[in-house]
């Protein structure tokens, strides 16, 4: 993930602060006295939030040794985290769909990561736009992966350990996905459409609660709520989109077409009622779930 992502991901960072507060709260109120606290941050991205988490835990628990690890399958992200933390935070390059080689964690957390699926072929840019049969197949495939990730989280926590997870639930960012798809259907860009694919899955609240319990968690609390996009103007929404799509898109778009694509998105946004476009687009899911003692 690029430096651009760090600059233009304020929506991600806002919810990240809520996740950090929840983790500190769990550590202070639920885990009791300890000399050492092992915390794992899954899909840590470039690690800016992981570093903030370490600082927050250190100031809340000055007597405790905080052993924090960030895991992400993008090596560039993990290297950035390790370097920016001056080696204080460990980094692991791995997928959360494989069992983690880390055991007995006190807390496992993840922000805006667990809705990413492994790469997949599909006839639209995101599963929510697929025709019903293809969508049903995708959803059941994705639900299985989601369960695997939750099981891996459960298995790497110690008894009494707590998962504090945040990711999107059903319907997240739908206005943005539809805008991208509509723009890719225009003559100048339609040749690229088949190469654009976001392997995401936003489970329903019901599925989330069911699967957490299926993999063995107890004391499950799922707080699902919506928030507007933090970005308030067509330019800042375009920059946000650019930050998370450009590294991938630039591998197959001609540079001139890619610039035109973002200009076109921006132009369309300027003609929309921006407050309606932003409204309730983040479908946040803040979860706290415990491994039985």
Ligand X SMILES: C[S@@+](CC[C@H](N)C(=O)[O-])C[C@H]1O[C@@H](n2cnc3c(N)ncnc32)[C@H](O)[C@@H]1O
Contact residues toward ligand X (CB under 6 A) are 1, 12, 16, 43-45, 49, 72-74, 77, 95-97, 111-113, 116
Supply the minimum distance, in Å, between the C-beta of residue 229 and ligand X: 14
Helix (H) or strand (E) holding 56: helix 48-60
Q: How many CA atoms lie within 13 A of 184 on its CB side?
A: 19
CB-wise, 6 or 30, nearer to ligand X?
A: 6
Instruction: Give CA angle at 126 (276, 249), nearest 5°.
Output: 95
Handedness of CA 74, 75, 80, 86 (dihedral sign): positive
Supply the minimum distance, in Å, between the C-beta of residue 96 and ligand X: 4
Neighbours of 115 (CB within 10 A): 22
CB-wise, 73 or 192, nearer to ligand X?
A: 73
CB-wise, 77 or 207, nearer to ligand X?
A: 77
Supply the minimum distance, in Å, between the C-beta of residue 110 and ligand X: 7
For residues 249 and 260, is the Cβ–Cβ distance under 8 A?
no
Helix (H) or strand (E) holding 194: none
CB-wise, 12 or 156, nearer to ligand X?
A: 12
Supply the minimum distance, in Å, between the C-beta of residue 17 and ligand X: 10
Supply the minimum distance, in Å, between the C-beta of residue 47 and ligand X: 8
> Any idea of the CA torsion for 199, 204, 207, 209, to the nearest 10 degrees?
120
Supply the minimum distance, in Å, between the C-beta of residue 73 and ligand X: 4
Supply the minimum distance, in Å, between the C-beta of residue 46 and ligand X: 7
CB-wise, 50 or 234, nearer to ligand X?
A: 50
CB-wise, 43 or 176, nearer to ligand X?
A: 43
47 vs 71: CA distance, rounded Å: 9
Residue nearest to ligand X (CB): 45
30 vs 32: CA distance, rounded Å: 6
145 vs 140: CA distance, rounded Å: 9
- Bridge partners for 168 per DSSP: 284
CB-wise, 96 or 202, nearer to ligand X?
A: 96
289 vs 293: CA distance, rounded Å: 13
């Amino acid at each position: 993930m690029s430096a651009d992502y760090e600059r233009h991901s304020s929506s991600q960072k806002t919810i990240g602060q809520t996740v950090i507060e929840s983790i500190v709260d769990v550590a202070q109120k639920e885990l009791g006295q300890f000399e050492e606290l092992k915390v794992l941050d899954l899909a840590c991205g470039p690690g800016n939030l992981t570093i903030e988490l370490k600082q927050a835990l250190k100031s809340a628990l000055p007597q405790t040794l905080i052993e924090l690890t960030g895991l992400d399958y993008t090596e560039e992200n993990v290297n950035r985290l390790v370097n920016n933390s001056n080696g204080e935070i460990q980094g692991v390059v791995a997928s959360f769909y494989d069992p983690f080689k880390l055991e007995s964690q006190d807390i496992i957390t993840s922000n805006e990561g667990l809705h990413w699926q492994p790469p997949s072929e599909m006839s639209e840019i995101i599963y929510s736009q697929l025709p019903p049969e293809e969508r049903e197949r995708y959803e059941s495939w994705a639900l299985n992966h989601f369960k695997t990730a939750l099981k891996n989280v459960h298995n790497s926590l110690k008894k009494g350990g707590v998962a504090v997870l945040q990711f999107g639930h059903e319907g997240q960012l739908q206005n943005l996905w539809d805008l991208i798809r509509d723009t890719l259907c225009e003559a100048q860009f339609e040749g690229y459409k088949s190469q654009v694919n976001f392997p995401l899955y936003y489970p329903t609240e019901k599925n989330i609660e069911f699967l957490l319990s299926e993999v063995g968690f107890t004391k499950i609390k799922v707080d699902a709520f919506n928030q507007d996009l933090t970005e308030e103007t067509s330019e800042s929404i375009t920059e946000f989109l650019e930050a998370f799509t450009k590294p991938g898109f630039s591998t197959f778009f001609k540079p001139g077409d890619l610039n035109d694509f973002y200009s076109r998105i921006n132009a369309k946004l300027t003609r929309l009622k921006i407050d309606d476009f932003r409204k309730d687009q983040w479908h946040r899911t803040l979860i706290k779930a415990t491994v039985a003692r």
